[in-house]
Amino acid sequence: MAPPNKLTLPLTPICLLVYLWCFGVFMTLALGSKARHFKWEVDYMYATPDCLENVVMGINGQFPGPTIKARAGDTVVVHLTNKLHTEGVVIHWHGIRQFGTPWADGTASISQCAINPGETFVYRFKVDKAGTYFYHGHYGMQRSAGLYGLLIVDVEEGKKESFHYDGEFNLLLSDWWHKGAHEQEVDLSSNPMRWIGEPQSLLINGRGQYNCTLAPAHNSNGSSLPVCKFRGNEQCAPNILHVEPNKTYRLRVASTTALASLNLAIGNHKMVMVEADGNYLQPFSVNDFDIYSGETYSVIFRTDQNLSNNYWISVGVRGREPKTPQGLAILHYKSTTSSKLPNLPPPKTPQWNDYTRSKSFANKILAFSGSPRPPTNYTRRIFLLNTQNRINGYTRWAINNVSLNLPSTPYLGSIKHGLTSAFDQKSPPETFVNTYDITMPPSNPNATYGNGVYKLEFGKTIDVILQNANALNANVSEIHPWHLHGHDFWILGYGEGKFSKKDEKKLNLQNPPLRNTVVIFPYGWTALRFVTDNPGVWAFHCHIEPHLHMGMGVIFASGVHLVGKIPEEALSCGLTGKLLRSNNHN
Amino acid sequence: MAPPNKLTLPLTPICLLVYLWCFGVFMTLALGSKARHFKWEVDYMYATPDCLENVVMGINGQFPGPTIKARAGDTVVVHLTNKLHTEGVVIHWHGIRQFGTPWADGTASISQCAINPGETFVYRFKVDKAGTYFYHGHYGMQRSAGLYGLLIVDVEEGKKESFHYDGEFNLLLSDWWHKGAHEQEVDLSSNPMRWIGEPQSLLINGRGQYNCTLAPAHNSNGSSLPVCKFRGNEQCAPNILHVEPNKTYRLRVASTTALASLNLAIGNHKMVMVEADGNYLQPFSVNDFDIYSGETYSVIFRTDQNLSNNYWISVGVRGREPKTPQGLAILHYKSTTSSKLPNLPPPKTPQWNDYTRSKSFANKILAFSGSPRPPTNYTRRIFLLNTQNRINGYTRWAINNVSLNLPSTPYLGSIKHGLTSAFDQKSPPETFVNTYDITMPPSNPNATYGNGVYKLEFGKTIDVILQNANALNANVSEIHPWHLHGHDFWILGYGEGKFSKKDEKKLNLQNPPLRNTVVIFPYGWTALRFVTDNPGVWAFHCHIEPHLHMGMGVIFASGVHLVGKIPEEALSCGLTGKLLRSNNHN
């Protein structure tokens, strides 16, 4: 079988212009202007993410949604109209801290009421820090349904990055199921729970190839997939990154996977890690790197390889036994024809359960010199035990034995307005019993539902020790990437087993990296520190969407009395809606 | 192949009691009390409506939803909690006129805001008239998703029906697709439109048998389906009606199909039609009867056949070329064993396109003597031309060239509060050009979107002439069952071709039946008359859900100034929500 002999770039510059026009992106063109306006409509549409047609959630007819490009200091204004027929929608701007605009964080039940069908909500927020970000749905399983896109913030006009590059590319990584997100929700909420299984495909910029590959001759991960039958301009044809030889490129990579932990590599090319979650790193060289759901990285690489070849960029599953073929893109040296397929095999993804390797990589990530350091002491330390449980036969994830069940009135409004009946007023547990055996399935698998809030004093230093444990089945402990809204945190360290006094001295207070997402490894702990410097209510949760759906998250509230007037549109539902209507009896 | 030899009644009396308890139905048991309270939760669930597992929309874990039983004059109070994750929900009480409670009509965008996830809306309304009714979702395609059930209103305590019967059974008819309702919505809204096709199964009380039959030896409709492999207690096993010989039974039949027009027959048994849509009929005898989506009938029949046999009750498709096997239930004479299958074939459904037969039946339906007669003269006559059109490439249905696009603020609130920007203030056309050729595809297939309202003066007599026409394809004119909310109307007559002056004298003002649903036959017209005696905003639309979804409806408003205080919960969205919040700036 001969490989397909034509691969063309589906987004030509002309198409791009037409896209920008058609999809209603009207950017303020006046020089010096810092408000960037976007008019978006969310609707379901048919697409072929992995060559199989499926319903996806698109924005302005695009999947993934349009890439927002802005500069540090700009204000992004997204007029989001919900064109769905019966569903609400919100969009979370992942990694944007929303200083002063906690109602624009885009989390249903937390920062705002979901936008009703036919209605428009205006997200207006400042992107204060350059970096690689993304956005996604944060209601039900709408991220799994395909509601996501990139948000790239460049340095301020006239400023330069500390590292040089000649060009840049963005890769948005996601995983894809053929079963619709609604049905997945029903599966997860069934008794007994029906697990959604591993994704059918991995997508790079919304493109995957289900059950076929362009690299059959040397499929590196042992599968025997048939050759993809491309004619060249399919929606699912792999992305091609056109590069000049002997140049330096920046690759911005974001993972919005629902489940999969990934590893990315470029055939023959070394990369240098320079940015993570919008924060600069102490540069270090890698052949490949792990990226968990909710994380972003920038790497730079030099096109210093044989310029008569092209090279595979491969993305594969780690942390779970992989049942999904690698996602592929092509690095195309302009010195060759773009139709030429790489003659080397795609880089092999490291063994999925080689956690020593994963931890080694994680521990190499350190802050760029001159980055802010964490306060030396913490005010409060919260231990969060991650367990899988059962409640009345339903499978749930719980934190300190409480499984998050989001309220119908968003916290930001109910706390601001003192509506105490909107959620559990009792604070959730600060820790777990110290006799808990994290190496075994829970001896008592029963947990409770809850929606209480950790009230954090404003302006204080908070430590969180995320403690992993064994799941319901013996000898299973999963990876969980935890994402904090509204803040970056310092990763003070990772460790094995249960966190204990003796681990204290291992914590890195010198050059810990600032991130918004951090993983806990199986049977291990992760320590992080942050300062409550952002008034609002903020979710902190496992970024695996089905895990969050099954209760794996907590809520932090801090300085809500300092929050300014919340737009009424964010409060129109539930008890806040009732309150706002209560003075006016028509 | 031997027929399955065991069929047991899935709903034993004990099960029923448990159901009543478990599903949270708490009926006021005090004698004389007239308020009947129900606590319902709507959620998706897995079920096997036609033996194939699928996601359905259920109420309290039941599909179809629980049957409400009440007496004329009672107040029904349903506390409806939305347990869906991201979707709003409403329930329409089909056939209940909602005198004084137009906000309880359960139509999203018309009578109320959809109930948000996690929230509860209380439907409180009087069932003033005995009869056979049902309820169903009225938002997006939630009826197709399975949100429906029966509402049976008996005569007042101590009163008797004018006809005698020894027992009664309820049959709720529906059609079922294996493709989910969300995907159907996307199909219908795609450009080009993707038609959902014929249903995979017909369900009787939520039970159908996909791709198999219990009557293979004598399958009457020419298909060659294999024998169903039942073990006896499947969710999809056909309903069995256990009867004593030589008794009279009442069969209450309601059709909530999304698409299918049906015909029902009981093997060897004649039936007498006695009630339609909650109104008594001049009794007449039939071997079978047509029932369109939105209609209900009561028939009485006598168990006067060979008491050593059982008999099939069959339901088949009419009005569209049938591609769906008959739906079946079993009439079981208690003198036989319930495991005995009927030895006669299921009654054959009449030829789908024998409209002469359909019209003959429709014309036999006349009011019971003593029923209210229509006013002799009308105040206003509105002609509504039914056409299939295209708007910017989208396939739509239009009325007088306007395709209904529901607003995000419900009409009842926006009219009551004078919010003129909530919808088109221009009234839709009262008629269509008299040169329009109804026998041909539209010469100009372009229509426009609209959401204007027919403002009807209160207390007047309105005539509506529904005029059918050719669809987009040549030689196609479909059946459309039109349903009016908030009122019954008199069916003054049906006719061929375009309604004209000469048809005037054919109208029946003597004993026209009162109904809430009436069909227009291909290339024909239907004349109806009603009195605007119910303040509110009322939908009048084709009850085929995909047709309504594609714009096939109009809105009538009458006496809205007479409407009492609308519960705020019905107004919490869109511009009414904004208005109610506007006096209170927290």
pLDDT at B219: 58
Give the span between the Cα atoms of B480 and B521, in whole angstroms. 7
Tokens matching residue A526:
């992760």
With 50 as the cut, is the pLDDT of residue B450 above it?
yes
- Chain B residues lying within 8 Å of A86, measured CB to CB: 87-89, 108, 114, 139-140, 142
Residue B33's pLDDT band (cuts 50, 70, 90):
very low
- Section A366-389 average pLDDT: 97
Q: Which of A23-32, A242-251, B426-435, B452-461 has the lowest mean pLDDT?
A: A23-32
pLDDT at residue A7 tops 80: no
Nearest to A581 among B565, B581, B585 (CB): B581
CB B128 within 8 A of CB B97: yes
Q: Please tell me the least confidently modeled range out of A221-235, A555-569, B338-352.
A: A221-235
* Residues in B touching A118 (Cβ below 8 Å): 109, 407-408, 574
* pLDDT surpassing 90 at residue A252: yes
Average pLDDT estimate for A309-328: 96
**CB B94 within 8 Å of CB B483:** yes
pLDDT bin (cut points 50, 70, 90) of residue A221 is: low
A44 with B186: Cβ contact below 8 A: yes
Residue in B42, B85, B119 to test binding to A, most A beta-carbons within 10 Å: B85
Q: HEC string of A180-223?
A: CHHHHHHHHCCCCCCCCCCCCEEEECCECCCCCECCCCCCCCCC
Which pLDDT score, from 0 to 100, does residue A222 have?
Answer: 62
Give the percent of chain A with pLDDT over 90: 87
Chain B partners within 8 Å of A565 (Cβ): 585
Complex ipTM, two decimals? 0.92
Q: Any idea which of A210-219, A337-346, A444-453 has the lowest mean pLDDT? A: A210-219
Of A423, A261, A466, nearest to A353 by C-alpha is: A261
- What H or E segment, with its residue span, contains residue A581? helix A574-581
Nearest residue on chain A to B45, alpha-carbon basis:
A186
pLDDT tens for A509-520 read 999 999 999 999
The C-alpha of A571 sits at a distance from chain B's nearest C-alpha, in angstroms, of 10
DSSP string, B186-226: HHHTSSS-----S-SEEEETTB--TT-BS--TT-TTS--PP
Do A333 and A245 touch, CB atoms closer than 8 A? Answer: yes
Comparing CB atoms, the residue among B119, B140, B580 nearest residue A408 is: B119
Q: What angle do CA B517, B521, B525 make, to 5 degrees?
A: 85
Residue-level pLDDT at B154: 97
| Contact status, residue B338 vs residue B369, Cβ threshold 8 Å | no
pLDDT exceeds cutoff 90 at B8: no
* CA neighbor of A527 nearest in space, from A471, A459, A467, A460: A467
Class of residue B444 by CB neighbours under 10 A (exposed 0-12, middle 13-18, buried 19+):
exposed
Q: Do B86 and A46 touch (CB under 8 A)?
A: no
Q: Is B144 exposed, middle or buried (0-12, 13-18, 19+ CB in 10 A)?
A: buried
How far does B419 lie from chain A, in Å, by closest CA? 13
Record: contact A118-B584, CB cut-off 8 A = no
Supply B510's token pair.
């003597």
CB contact under 8 A, A572 and B581: yes
Nearest residue of A to residue B116 by CA position? Answer: A573
User: With contacts defined as CB-CB under 8 Å, which chain B residues touch A583?
Assistant: 583-584
Report the residue from B43, B86, B114 with minimal CB separation from A139: B86
Say yes or no to pLDDT of B22 above 70.
no
Segment B359-375 shows an average pLDDT of 97
How far is residue B482's CA from residue B463's CA, in Å, rounded to a whole number?
Answer: 14
* Residues whose CB is less than 8 angstroms from the CB of residue A501 and which lie 6 or more positions away in sequence, other chains included: none
Chain segment A446-489, per-residue pLDDT in tens: 999 999 999 999 999 999 999 999 999 999 999 999 999 999 99
Question: Which pLDDT band holds residue B223 (cuts at 50, 70, 90)?
Answer: low
**Alpha-carbon gap: A240 to the closest alpha carbon of chain B (Å):** 29
CA distance A355 to chain B (A): 35
Angle (deg, nearest 10), helices B574-581 and A574-581 = 50
> Taking CA atoms, what residue in B is nearest to A192?
B46
- What is the least distance, in Å, from the CA of A577 to any CA of chain B? 7
Contacts of B141 in chain A (CB under 8 A): 85
Closest partner CB to A190 (pick from B46, B114, B190): B46
Report the SS3 class of residue B24: coil
CB within 8 Å: A182 and B186: no
Å from A48 to nearest chain B CA? 14
Check pLDDT > 80 for residue B36.
yes
> Is omega for the bond preceding B64 within 30 degrees of 0, making it cis?
yes
d(CA A424, CA A315): 42
| DSSP type of residue A548 | H
Res A26 pLDDT > 80:
no
* Average confidence score pLDDT of chain B: 93
Cis preceding-peptide flag for A512 (omega within 30 of 0): no
For B525-577, write each residue's pLDDT tens digit: 999 999 999 999 999 999 999 999 999 999 999 999 999 999 999 999 999 99
Average pLDDT estimate for A525-554: 98
Please say if the pLDDT value at position B277 is more than 70.
Answer: yes
Q: Which residues pair with A286 in a beta bridge?
A: A271
pLDDT at B4 over 80: no
Query: Is residue A533's pLDDT more than 90?
Result: yes
Work out the average pLDDT over A206-229.
80
- Judged by DSSP in three states, B412 sits in helix
Average predicted confidence (pLDDT) for chain A: 93
CA-based nearest distance A117→chain B, Å: 7
CA distances from A41 to A46, A111, A270 (A): 15, 21, 40
Q: In this predicted structure, what is the pLDDT of residue A220? A: 54
What confidence category does residue A5 fall into, taking pLDDT thresholds of 50, 70 and 90?
very low
Say whether pLDDT at A114 is over 60.
yes
Assess whether the previous peptide bond of A64 is cis (omega < 30° from 0). yes
What pLDDT shows up at residue A215? Answer: 84
CB atoms B407 and A118 under 8 Å:
yes
Q: What is the pLDDT of residue B340?
A: 83
Write the CB contacts of B67 (distance below 8 Å, at least 6 apart in sequence).
B149, B150, B151, B152, B170
Query: Who among B45, B88, B190 is closest to A86 (CB)?
Result: B88
Q: Tokens 């293979």 appear where?
A: B216
pLDDT for residue B59 is more than 70: yes
On the question of pLDDT at B217 being above 70, the answer is no
CA nearest to B189 within chain A: A45
Out of A417, A584, A586, name the one closest to residue B586 (CB): A417
What's the pLDDT tens digit per position in B407-420? 999 999 999 999 99
Q: What's the rounded Cα separation, in Å, for the pair B297 and B278?
A: 8
A185: which chain B residues are within 8 Å (Cβ-Cβ)? 44, 85
Report whether pLDDT(B24) > 80.
no
Copy the structure tokens of residue B144: 């197709």
> pLDDT-derived band of residue B14, with 50, 70 and 90 as boundaries?
very low
pLDDT band at residue A537 under the 50/70/90 scheme: very high
Q: What is the pLDDT of residue A219?
A: 58
What's the DSSP call for residue A357?
A: H
pLDDT for B291 equals 98
In this prediction, residues A235-255 reach a mean pLDDT of 96
Query: Is residue B155 within 8 Å of residue B72, measured between CB atoms?
Result: yes
pLDDT over 60 (residue B436): yes
Residues of A in contact with B186 (CB under 8 A): 44-46, 55
Contact: B44, A182; criterion CB under 8 Å: yes
Lowest model confidence (mean pLDDT) among A302-311, B11-20, B196-205, B350-359 = B11-20
CA torsion angle B382 B388 B393 B394 (round to 10): 80
pLDDT class of B518 with cuts at 50, 70, 90: very high
